[in-house]
Amino acid sequence: MNVMAKAEKKISSAFIYFFGSFGGILFGYDIGVMTGALPFLQADWHLENAASLVGWITSAVMFGAIFGGALAGQLSDKFGRRKMILMSAIVFMVFSVLSGVSPDMGEASAYYLIIVRMLLGLAVGAASALVPAYMSEMAPAKARGRLSGLNQTMIVSGMLLSYVVDFLLKDLPGEWAWRLMLGLAAVPALILFLGVLRLPESPRFLLRKGDEAQARKVLSYIRKNPAEIDQELASIKETAKEERQANQKTSWSTLFSGKYRYLVIAGVGVAAFQQFQGANAIFYYIPLIVQKATGQAASSNLMWPIVQGVILVVGSLIYMWIADKFNRRTLLMVGGAVMGLSFILPAVINWMIPNMNPMTIVVFLCIYVAFYSFTWAPLTWVLVGEIFPLAIRGRASGLASSFNWIGSWLVGLIFPIMTASMPQEAVFAIFGIICILGVIFVKTCVPETRGHTLEEIEEQGTNHGRVKASNPEN
């Protein structure tokens, strides 16, 4: 026992934060890997004119993630964040390998791959729900935005990694190229599994289960000031005491009770808008977008995903620098406005100048990605991690993740169908309008959370009806 205790004490806060957010790598890799694999898969299985089938293969992971996020969120309230992250890594490893070894059976191959990628999506959705919740519960309030932003840095790093792998493998025979691209996703899943084996459980989950001694020990790894530890424990215990006194039984209907409705709508709404704004249309299909704009083969445009990936990584680092300097709402509204204009302006320019340079739309897409990378991309998961009260955090985070993945799935599914039936500029203009609607939603329905403890945010939600009457800004 003493040996184990000494080993536990060697866990550094840097190790905890790094592997606590490493699940984002899995999320990001699988978002990005199909970007490069799809052109080779289309050629190998002769799917060039099967827009709906291509959409399903691409979006199958997101469809599975809808259920993975909800299921993992619920199970994490029972078994803990750490155990569910471990399970997600195992599922991810297994089905990544099965994707890479898809049998060549004609049209049946496509349906096999769709099913396997749906099951893979269970792990991807779980990671998207569990990592923000775990990171927000480990991070101190004053640095929660920056440390929770590590999740986004991991996501975009996973995307960039997949783009680089795709580019390096592009000269292999077509069949081997896409199979290795998909199968190599098992490597970061294995790294995550080995790292999380040494991670402690969330102190808030431990206190909820009545293990105050272990919760104090975990906080001692990540809080340097004993007084800060005592204050945080007292704050968490007070919230838990109030919940017990109310004898509250958490269920799905609880999420939309008067006490929690405001915060749940805000968190789930932001998560949904992030995807319906169309970002993943760029990430999944950028080679095909460039092909349609320029006429060049998609398989020769794999440098463009790397450009997008670099922009995303740089943007995530910029976010970590500014995260705790600006209000969450301000960043979301500014980012959403520029993103909307970046989608709408190409359609306006094309209407005014019908023969505009076809690469104009690609330039505007880069502007969109740049602003998305340090606003909506990281802040969605920061808000999801910090806005939900402890009693419903697992379920609510899962619900937000599911709505996020519903948007991602629909965008991935219908984008190739939409671009086959209308100009690309018109498709992106539709997404631009959704971006503007997202700005309005943030302005009217989302509270400010920067610098507030999780317990203060919960109190703000509980008192929303009374506060809003006197201060509409809340």
| pLDDT tens readout for residues 310-334 | 999 999 889 888 877 888 899 999 9
Given a contact cutoff of 8 angstroms between Cβ atoms, the answer to whether 86 and 197 are in contact is: yes
Nearest to 455 by CA among 255, 263, 324: 263
Question: Is 240 a residue whose pLDDT tops 90?
Answer: no
| Each residue's pLDDT tens digit, 73-117 | 778 878 888 888 899 999 999 999 999 999 887 677 889 999 999
* Residue 173 CA to its chain's centroid (Å): 32
| Each residue's pLDDT tens digit, 416-432 | 888 888 888 889 999 99
The better pLDDT of the pair 39, 245 is held by: 39
The better pLDDT of the pair 327, 144 is held by: 327
How much is the pLDDT for 253? 75
Average pLDDT over residues 172-200: 89
The model's confidence at residue 464, banded by pLDDT at 50, 70 and 90, is low
Domains identified in the chain, total number = 1
* Residue 343 CA to its chain's centroid (Å): 21
How much is the pLDDT for 434? 96
The CATH number covering residue 91 comes to 1.20.1250.20
CA-to-CA separations, 113 to 163, 187, 267, 286, 317, in angstroms, rounded: 20, 19, 33, 22, 35
Which residues constitute the domain of residue 49? Answer: 14-470
Residue 254 included in any domain: yes
Residue 2 included in any domain: no
Residue 8 included in any domain: no
Residue 206 included in any domain: yes
390, containing H or E segment? none
How much is the pLDDT for 262? 86
The better pLDDT of the pair 470, 136 is held by: 136
The model's confidence at residue 2, banded by pLDDT at 50, 70 and 90, is very low
How much is the pLDDT for 362? 85
Q: Alpha-carbon distance 270 to 32, whole Å?
A: 22
How much is the pLDDT for 340? 96
Residue 409 included in any domain: yes
How much is the pLDDT for 145? 63
Residue 35 included in any domain: yes
Residue 320 included in any domain: yes
Residue 55 phi/psi, 5-degree rounding, is -60, -40
Q: HSE (CB half, 13 Å, CA atoms) of 229?
A: 16
Q: Read out DSSP for 425-459? A: HHHHHHHHHHHHHHHHHHHHH----TT--HHHHHH
Q: What percent of the chain has pLDDT over 70?
A: 89
Q: 414: Cβ–Cβ under 8 A, 6 or more apart, which residues?
A: 55
| Each residue's pLDDT tens digit, 361-384 | 888 999 999 999 999 988 887 888
How much is the pLDDT for 8? 45
Residue 21 included in any domain: yes
| Each residue's pLDDT tens digit, 382-414 | 888 778 877 777 778 778 877 887 888 899 888
Q: Alpha-carbon distance 374 to 264, whole Å?
A: 23
Nearest to 179 by CA among 86, 104, 121, 251: 104
Tokens of 424: 């690309």
pTM over 0.95: no
